[in-house]
Amino acid sequence: MSIDALVDKYIASTEKALKDMEQTKDILKLDEKAINEIVAYAKAYLEDAKYYKDQKELETSLTSIAYCEGLIDALKLIGAIKIPTTP
C-alpha cells in the first residue's frame, strides 16, 4: 500500500470515529490497571514500529509509532503519566 493510500485510509477512519463518537456522561475514571493496559498498547505499537522498519515497511512503521505517540500524549493530557523533560 502506498503511503498516500495509507494516509487516506487512516484519515477516513479517524474522521468516521470522530463523527460517530459519543461523549460519555460518566466522570473519567482510570485505575492503575487501565493505565497499564494503555501503556502496554503503546509499547506494543513501538515494537511493531521497530519490526516494520526492519522489514522495510516504513509506512506501517510510521503508522505504528504515530499510534504509540498518540496514546502517550493522551495519557499525559489526562494526567495519568508524567514524562520528565531533558534540559
- List, for residues 26-50, the tens digit of each pLDDT value: 777 788 999 999 999 999 999 999 9
Report the alpha-carbon distance of residue 68 to residue 72 in Å, rounded.
6
Domain of residue 75 covers 32-87
pLDDT value of position 6:
82
Report the alpha-carbon distance of residue 66 to residue 81 in Å, rounded.
18
Residue 12 lies in a domain: no
pLDDT value of position 50:
96
pLDDT value of position 74:
94
Residue 27 lies in a domain: no
Degrees to nearest 5, angle at CA 53 with 58 and 39:
105
Instruction: Give the tens place of pLDDT for each residue, 50-75.
Output: 999 999 998 899 999 999 999 999 99
Selection from 87, 47, 85 nearest residue 67 by Cα: 47
Residue 19 lies in a domain: no
Does 18 or 67 have the greater pLDDT score?
Answer: 67
CB 51 within 8 A of CB 5: no
What's the domain count of the chain? 1
Longest CA–CA separation in the chain, Å: 44
pLDDT value of position 33:
93
Residue 15 lies in a domain: no
